[in-house]
Amino acid sequence: MCCSTSVRTGFAVGGLVAAVNTKRVISVLGSTGSIGVNTLDVIARHPDRFDVFALAANASVDIMLAQCLAFAPRYAVMMDEAAATLLQQRLPAESGTEVLQGESGLAAVVTAPQVDVVMAAIVGAAGLPSTLAAARAGKTLLLANKESLVMGGHLLMQAVRENGACLLPIDSEHNAIFQCMPVDEHGTPSDRGVSKVLLTASGGPFRQWSREQMVNATPDEACAHPNWSMGRKISVDSASLMNKGLEFIEACWIFDLAPERVEVVVHPQSIIHSMVQYLDGSVLAQLGNPDMRTAIAYGLGWPQRLESGVTPLDLVATARLDFESPDESRFPCLRLARESVAAGGTAMAVCNAANEVAVDAFLANGIHFTDIPVVIEHTLERVDNAEAVSLAVVENADAQARQVAMEFLADFQQNGGVVKRV
């Protein structure tokens, strides 16, 4: 089990006090992505409750410019140097927004004393340092970057505990579990009386495809999610069920659960976002239309509820809710994620890194969809597992895994394992 110590104190009671009747100052990391855009949509509905201190993105200058003009943040951070320069040139002098660049800029806007809340929505391993910095600064952390827990779960939850940070999960599944968990006398989520959690998965666009059909699946087909509108990387992860594997790892860390107390259930309608099963036989479920603004609004307003702009669920129109077990023979990425949890240490970081390399190759038409788990398994077998005692150790494992995965891809393609598609 990856979670050997309790993490429940990470849900700091101090966050409850700060959330009531005060205007909160927020930095949105990954503001130009789907989570960031939806976060700003919810914030715009409540101008009396939130001030945007900073926005951060990689290189999407046009979207960032529009966001800066709409929300007038004190800072805008661009990871790409050329994008930062271009944004500074295009911002009107009277905007009052200062452009920062790179990791130092991210660190500045998550640790600033004015900031109450950090929305961590940077995609991939790149989000770990800033997420960790926010936790160490004792912020209310709205966590939408799953890789932070997958790679450095022990480090992140330790930082949350030791610095009085408040961690609220924004992934719809973990947010649903959070809503269905019992709370102790301090209002902190607890696993008292909980038998297990049921993590729902849509099954993605290939739920009914055979393995033979998936071999020739295109990136556009993999990104055509039946229920959710997401970025291309996370859409491919959803199609391979690796997204659910990463969420499996997250659930173990966030709720301090042994892997055997987390079960993945395929639910094609994506109406039940996850469930908690109790020792007395009760099952509590959180339902809603598949729209990330529900979870975002819950995190922004907690412990109060905010209007999110989401269309209310019509149960009569929904008509039916189906469930089935995941088929790990067709979707081996889920198995690989579970095995990395069992291995502990840096195995989860290695699994995540190899997946990122493989997904990038698939999106670039360099490998087949069914080659993604092949790359991951090869990498897990060849990168030594280590105890994740520091960020440096985790980042070293991440770098090693990426190198091994890329070398394997090069050899694989050169030797005829995969013919590069055009």
Give pLDDT tens digits for 236-294.
999 999 999 999 999 999 999 999 999 999 999 989 999 999 999 999 999 999 899 99
Task: Determine the Cα–Cα distance for residues 6 and 337; give it in Å rounded to an integer.
Answer: 22
pLDDT at 190: 81
Residues counted in the chain: 422
Is the torsion defined by CA of 282, 283, 284, 289 positive or negative?
negative
Order of strands across the sheet that contains 117-120:
98-101, 75-78, 50-57, 24-29, 117-120, 140-143, 166-169
Helices (H), 323-418: 332-343, 347-363, 372-382, 391-414
pLDDT at 417: 59
pLDDT at 184: 66
Tens-level pLDDT at each residue, the chain (422 residues): 343 333 332 333 333 333 444 789 999 999 999 999 999 999 999 999 999 999 999 999 999 999 999 999 999 999 999 999 999 999 998 999 999 999 999 999 999 999 999 999 998 888 889 999 999 999 999 999 888 898 889 999 999 999 999 999 999 999 999 999 987 655 567 888 999 999 999 998 999 999 999 999 999 999 987 776 677 888 999 999 999 999 999 999 999 999 999 999 999 998 999 999 999 999 999 999 989 999 999 999 998 999 999 999 999 998 899 999 999 999 999 999 999 999 999 999 999 999 999 999 999 999 999 999 999 999 999 999 999 999 999 999 999 999 999 999 998 777 665 444 32
Task: Determine the Cα–Cα distance for residues 348 and 254; give it in Å rounded to an integer.
Answer: 15
Is the N-terminal amide bond of 303 cis, ω within 30° of 0? yes
Task: Determine the Cα–Cα distance for residues 270 and 127; give it in Å rounded to an integer.
Answer: 26
Task: Determine the Cα–Cα distance for residues 234 and 250; give it in Å rounded to an integer.
Answer: 15
DSSP 255: T
Task: Determine the Cα–Cα distance for residues 119 and 37; give it in Å rounded to an integer.
Answer: 11
**Residues 18/168, Cβ–Cβ less than 8 Å:** no
Task: Determine the Cα–Cα distance for residues 40 and 49; give it in Å rounded to an integer.
Answer: 13
Task: Determine the Cα–Cα distance for residues 35 and 288; give it in Å rounded to an integer.
Answer: 17
Q: How far is CA 76 from CA 34, 66, 100, 132, in A?
A: 17, 12, 6, 20
What residue has token string 């109060």? Answer: 304
Q: Name the percent of the chain in helix, strand, coil, to the closest 5.
A: 50, 15, 35
pLDDT at 228: 66
Q: Where are the domains of the chain?
A: 8-170, 172-247+258-288+314-328, 345-414
Task: Determine the Cα–Cα distance for residues 236 and 369; give it in Å rounded to an integer.
Answer: 9
pLDDT at 8: 30
CATH class of the 345-414 domain in this structure? mainly alpha
**Pairing of the two strands 117-120 and 24-29:** parallel
What residue has token string 């452009």? Answer: 99
Which architecture does CATH list for 8-170?
3-Layer(aba) Sandwich (3.40)
Q: For residue 182, what are its two tokens?
A: 């019992």
Residue 165 — φ and ψ, nearest 5°?
Answer: -70, 165
pLDDT at 182: 87
**Residues 26/5, Cβ–Cβ less than 8 Å:** no
pLDDT at 185: 55
Q: Which amino acid is at 235?
A: S
Please write the tens of the pLDDT for every residue from 60-82.
999 999 999 999 999 999 999 99
Nearest to 358 by CA among 378, 383, 331: 378
